[in-house]
Structure 1
Amino acid sequence: MHILIAPDSFKESLSAPQAAQALQEGFSQALPDATFDLLPIGDGGEGTMAALAAALGWAEFYHTVTGPFGQPVKMTYARQGQQALFEMADLVGLASIPQEKRNPLVIETRGLGELILHLAGEGVRKMLVGVGGSASNDGGIGLAAGLGYEFYDSDQHVLRPVGSSLGRAARISAQHVPAVLKELEIEILTDVTNPLCGPQGAAYMFGGQKGLPDLLFAQTDQAMRQFYELANPAVFGLAGAGAGGGMAAGLVTFAGGKIVSGIETCLDLLDFDERVKKADLVVVGEGRMDRQSLAGKAPVGIARRTPQGIPVLAVCGSLAADLPAFPAENIAAAFPIMAQADSLPAVLAQAEVNLIRTARNIGNVLKMKKSG
């Protein structure tokens, strides 16, 4: 049996490569004669860069930029020739912001723009930018400031480029934006199709998990709408513009970016369609599978690309109650790995052991079927 193992990261516990290794270990214990193809994956969210860089053999580098609270931080990127890959979560990822500091309206994203200009100065002309898993909701105003844009209120005062300033912007200046920006090709990898504003937009759908109080959803959404009525009204009808707290809209508007499916782009880069032809079984996974996963996140994106006749199993940290009964979306069955009720920190710490155990149990069932 040849098993293609293609998990996403298990957030706050295991990277995609670590999850793939754990799954292989568990299956190997039950199926010692099986062969494996490890294909750790990302869909634009946290861990995408690490998974792709490792699989493609791109070298990783660091550059110092402005951090989420104005401090200098080292931001990682992967590069090969004139192409580079980095992710928003490496700068302002939700997992890296302490609970007591989570306020998506004051976190700065200026460093993303600074990194883009640095890479452009180093000769990079195509950039892949993952925008999932962020802790900010600034509509890309911080990114734009890092690129050289300036924002003024109605009294011609320069605004601080954070989410709380969006509703006060009255004028945008591109006077200090370097011409090299027009030479870049930027693909925005996202795992969601949410619009920028409205009930399915950035504030209403993702603000809560980033620390935005429910009472501020409407006000924040209106401020975002007001800002983009000034900056680029065309983004209101653009699927995926709400990704990354509106960062996707910012990259489109201020950097000429193009929104693409994160999972589809990653699968193309990793030659998935050829590799899957050799598989007898495909195993996917992520930290928590819920109905949002069905909109195109990594496990479902992989399952949809898997040819009929090759079974797909999902092994996840947990399964939400809003999932349909399986089989669904070409996934034959889904398995949660938690062995017992426990605190979240304990569950996260046990992820590797639980993955190995679950994979071994599934392997034992497959072995029974084969022998029968």
Structure 2
Amino acid sequence: MKFVIAPDSFKGSLTAAQVGAVIARAIRQGMPEAEAAVVPMADGGEGTVDALVQATGGTLIEHRVSGPEGEPRTACYGEVGGAKTLSAVLEAANIFGLPLLPPERRNPLQTTSRGLGELMRALLDKGCRQFIVGLGGSSTNDGGIGMLSALGARFTDGEGNPLEGFGRDLTKLRHVDLAGLDPRLKDSRITVACDVTNPLLGPQGASHIFGPQKGASPEQVALLDESMARYAVLMEAALSLRLRERQGAGAAGGLGFAFMAIGAEMAPGAQVVEQLTGLKQQIAQADWVITGEGRSDEQTVFGKLPWYVAQWANEAGKPAILISGSLGADIEALYDRFAACFSTVPRPSTLEACMEEAERNLEQCARNVIRLLARQRV
């Protein structure tokens, strides 16, 4: 019997590779004769770089960039593929991710996407022309002006003073000059892994939907959306192209809009990762598929990683099992895709305790699942 284990990370406690290793260990204990193939997955958020490097045998590299508040920090990117297909894998989450800031310091007026542009420019200098960028988990709402500034664009206020590229600078922005954008971007292929379909502006846009979880007050949300609208007018005039309504323009606080402006291709994160890992081919050879995430609920059906994995398993005629850190109240729709759904939490507990005991709880749950499948074979 062959198992394919293709989980997302359990955010804040276990990486996708760690989750896969724990489940594989449970399989070895309960079915010593079974084969277990671990394929760490991600959907563009936290853990995308690690998952792709682990799954493809790539290389993890550190580089110094500007962090969410403009402070120096060390971020990681991955190099994956062969000499002719070498790609750099980057993620917003490990450069200016929301968890990098304590709750009391979360304020999208004070954060910037500049570090991502700095890293891309360094990679262009290194000769890289293929980029895969995950946008999930950001702390920013700067419309991508931080990233674009680092790549050579110029943003100024009403008096011609240059703006640094923080969320607060959107309120001062009056002029956009894209002439200085790095010309090497035109020769580059940029694939943005993103499952967010929100437009840039309005009630479903970047500021209104994601601003509050990044620390924005209602007044700040209104200010940011108004300023983002002025930014969109200026950018679209410079580009002679309308982008604000496109799906994903509002991703990562408008960073999706900025990537569209430099010709990037937007794609569902899970599908981008699958293409590099070859997960579908492995599923075709499996008897069972196991996936999971930190929490599964009604939102899982709207394109989260486990939903994609289950869909690919269903297409191949393979049963899929979901093992997640917790299950929400409304999971009925999950049974359309999964043979069974399990939560690893064995008893009433605090979030802190669940995080501390994540590995032990996962292993116990996985062992029970595998013992049940082993019994079924008798």
Give TM class, smaller chain.
over 0.9
Alignment of 1:224-263 (within 5 A): 224-232=228-236, 234-253=242-261, 255-263=262-270
Change (3 A) 1:292 1:205: farther
1:79 alignment counterpart: 79
Q: Contact (CA 8 Å) 1:326, 1:332: kept in 2 or not?
A: no
Shift of 1:206: 2.0
Q: Secondary structure at the match of 1:165?
A: helix
- Is 1:290–2:290 an aligned residue pair? no
Shift of 1:83: 1.8
Q: Contact (CA 8 Å) 1:192, 1:297: kept in 2 or not?
A: no
1:4 alignment counterpart: 4
Q: Contact (CA 8 Å) 2:9, 2:19: kept in 1 or not?
A: yes
Q: Deviations over 1:177-206 (max 9, x none)?
A: 332222211111112222222232222222
1:281 alignment counterpart: 288
Q: Contact (CA 8 Å) 1:45, 1:191: kept in 2 or not?
A: no
Change (3 A) 1:325 1:182: closer
2:33 alignment counterpart: 33
Task: Tell me how far apart the structure 2 counterparts of residues 235 and 99 of structure 1 sit (CA, whole Å).
Answer: 32
What are the ranges of 5 or more consecutive residues in structure 2 without an aligned counterpart?
A: none
- Is 1:211–2:218 an aligned residue pair? no
Q: Contact (CA 8 Å) 1:166, 1:223: kept in 2 or not?
A: yes
Task: Tell me how far apart the structure 2 counterparts of residues 176 and 132 of structure 1 sit (CA, whole Å).
Answer: 28
Shift of 1:93: 1.3
- Is 1:157–2:165 an aligned residue pair? no
Q: Secondary structure at the match of 1:327?
A: helix
- Which residue type is aligned with residue 3 of structure 1? F
1:14 alignment counterpart: 14
2:320 alignment counterpart: 312
Q: 1:145 aligns with which of 140, 146, 149?
A: 149
Change (3 A) 1:44 1:326: closer
Shift of 1:308: 4.7
- Which residue type is aligned with residue 206 of structure 1? F
2:349 alignment counterpart: 342
Q: TM-score, normalised by structure 2?
A: 0.92
Task: Tell me how far apart the structure 2 counterparts of residues 179 and 231 of structure 1 sit (CA, whole Å).
Answer: 18
Task: Tell me how far apart the structure 2 counterparts of residues 96 and 126 of structure 1 sit (CA, whole Å).
Answer: 27
Task: Tell me how far apart the structure 2 counterparts of residues 216 and 171 of structure 1 sit (CA, whole Å).
Answer: 22
Count of residues in correspondence between the two structures: 369
Change (3 A) 1:325 1:58: closer
Task: Tell me how far apart the structure 1 counterparts of residues 354 and 328 of structure 2 sit (CA, whole Å).
Answer: 16
Task: Tell me how far apart the structure 2 counterparts of residues 280 and 156 of structure 1 sit (CA, whole Å).
Answer: 64
What are the ranges of 5 or more consecutive residues in structure 1 without an aligned counterpart?
A: none
Task: Tell me how far apart the structure 1 counterparts of residues 260 and 290 of structure 2 sit (CA, whole Å).
Answer: 34
1:184 alignment counterpart: 188
Q: Contact (CA 8 Å) 2:212, 2:218: kept in 1 or not?
A: yes
Q: CA RMSD in A?
A: 1.7
Task: Tell me how far apart the structure 2 counterparts of residues 300 and 220 of structure 1 sit (CA, whole Å).
Answer: 33
2:204 alignment counterpart: 200
- Is 1:173–2:183 an aligned residue pair? no
Task: Tell me how far apart the structure 2 counterparts of residues 327 and 210 of structure 1 sit (CA, whole Å).
Answer: 32
Q: TM-score, normalised by structure 1?
A: 0.94
Q: Secondary structure at the match of 1:236?
A: coil
Q: Deviations over 1:236-275 (max 9, x none)?
A: 221122221221111221x321111111111111112211
